[in-house]
Chain A
Amino acid sequence: MASISARRLAKELREIQSEGCPVGITLLEANDFSRWLFTIEVMGESLYQGEVYDLQFRFDAQYPISSPAVQFVVTGGKQSPIHPHVYSNGHICASILGNEWSPVLSVIAVCVTLQSMLASCKVRPTDNDRYVRNAPENPKKTLFHYDDDT
């Protein structure tokens, strides 16, 4: 029943439209229940002040049992933020998008988590180039090793 993921996403979308997104997050595009786009901006005093990033969610029919595929958009002149857990191809190394995903989480919850994650140092991950060369198209297919809590 594909309608389970569709109904759940419809509910989330209705919630976003009626209550609005948290500060710094805006819904850019949600034409269907397979791909949504958000813009994300770190508010207040931070290294990312004034920088706006595009965040892409892709859902499969198993959502919310399986996690959405989340990555920063790096095409069309967009760039991914410079962060130890974000690769230059837009992939994000975050446990809640992998083995710690829970169906209880939602699109907005993921956005807020990533927003708070961004408030950190400005260094590319050390293995960036190697990862980007070999990375699969879908970040969910990568087996990240989550080694700290930042």
Chain B
Amino acid sequence: MSLYNYVETPNTNLVCCICRAPFTDPITTRTCTHTFCSECILRALTHSALCPIDRSPLSVNDLVDASPIVRSLVDELVVECPHLSEGCSHTSQRQAMPLHLRDECEYGEVGCLVDGCTEVMKRKDIPAHVEKAHADSEMHSGEEGQEEEGSISRTESEEHTCPHAGIGCPYTGPLKASEHLESCPYESLKGFFVMNTARMSLLTEQNMLLRHRVDTLESTVFTLRREMNAAKNALGPWFRSSYHGMGGYSVVGSEVAGATAGPSESGGGVDELSPYFPSEEVGLRHRASSSVSEGMYGGIVAPLDLGTTLEGTLVGLRESMVGLAAGVDSAGRRSEIALANETLRLGEEMMSVRAQMHGLRMQVHGMMMDRNAALREEGYGNFGMAGSITKL
């Protein structure tokens, strides 16, 4: 939450209902579009995973930065300098206040400008401090605050440590702080460390926000990956990653280098499924090319219409399947009818042949009867015989 006092009563729409102060680093919920300070809502969520306003379920992943308009509105609110009670009556936009505290405010805490001094004090006290403390480097007076006193007690002890021990100076020894500081490498970097600390805290803050966003993104990626896998499973062999296609293209392309029609259809060698998935180029070539190419690649390219979607192809396949079944069915029926017809015809022919046979037998029988009669007549007299022959 903001620690500033606002010059005017802020618009209630810009007030976080958790800390009752204008938003600091406003965050909006994605589910119910309520806005809070980022710190307030994050703390509230650790206590209970509900939106404080409407008690709907809420998680850290549902938080997004508030719109830039809201951010600007609260950043531009005029605030008083936190050192008002001490005498600084400066007011500025909230976003400019940290700069005022760092560079201008007489009551802001800054490091002593004199080399060899690490005291932090109010800016207005610096001249007095310099006069008192550095007129005689041995003589530190204790009037400049508790930190000063702390360092004095250190300088008076037997083993002296460097005032920069906090930022890494390992020195301990008999030299007094002021003597050591003349040679201390950390002394010259003092200003840098102050700046660095400020930057560091800024970065930590940004880092936290970014981590938060990364978390959100990671969860989104996870969801997407899961959906992707589901889609991949549903597609089965029809799934073809562009990476795979490219690889097959280039590898085989180099193998068949020189052949004019080489690279496009040569994907067939990569795996057994690949003829089902020729690259776009192949499809186009086939449609455009003449019967020559069809003759050449007829064995390789799947007998599928790759111009449509998977669903369309499946529907097409199912239709042709139904057509084939019907065709087989009717063919069977037709051949059955033909067979029956043939049998009937053969039967009739047989009957007619049998009738003819009967006729012939009757004729032969008649002839035999005549002959027998003639022979019998011959037995009685030869005349009769001659007569019968002429009869025949």
Q: Which residues of A contact B (CB under 8 A)?
A: 3-4, 7-8, 11-12, 62, 64-66, 99-100, 102-104
Contact = CB atoms under 8 A, between A and B. Distances in A.
Given A8-B18, A100-B55, 19 more contacts: A4-B1, A7-B1, A7-B3, A7-B21, A8-B1, A8-B20, A11-B20, A62-B47, A64-B19, A65-B40, A65-B46, A65-B47, A66-B47, A102-B50, A103-B17, A103-B40, A103-B52, A104-B52, A104-B53
A102 B21 contact: no
A62 B48 CA distance: 13
- Give the residue among A3, A64, A99 with the most B Cβ atoms within 10 A: A64
B302 interface: no
Interface in B296-322: none
Nearest to A102: B52
Given A3-B3, A4-B1, A7-B1, A104 B17 contact: yes
B44 interface: yes
B55 A7 contact: no
Interface of A is mostly: loop
Contacts of B40: 65, 103
B365 interface: no
Interface string B40-60: 100110111010110100000
Contact of B19 (A8, A66, A99, A100): A8
Contacts of A102: 50, 52-53, 55
Q: State which size class the interface on B falls in.
A: 10 to 19
A64 B18 contact: yes
24 contacts: A3-B3, A7-B1, A7-B19, A7-B21, A8-B1, A8-B19, A8-B20, A11-B21, A12-B20, A64-B18, A65-B18, A65-B43, A65-B44, A65-B46, A66-B47, A100-B55, A102-B52, A102-B53, A102-B55, A103-B18, A103-B40, A104-B17, A104-B52, A104-B53
Contacts of B50: 102
A101 B348 CA distance: 104
Minimum-distance CB pairs A-B, first 5: A103-B18, A102-B52, A11-B20, A104-B17, A103-B52
B90 to A, nearest CB: 21
Interface in B191-211: none
A100 B3 CA distance: 28
Nearest to B47: A65
Contacts of A100: 55
B43 to A, nearest CB: 5
A102 B46 CA distance: 13
Contacts of A11: 20-21
A12 B17 CA distance: 12
A100 B44 CA distance: 13
Given A3-B3, A7-B1, A103 B44 contact: yes
A64 B20 CA distance: 10
A65 B46 CA distance: 9
Interface string B1-18: 101000000000000011
Nearest to B19: A8
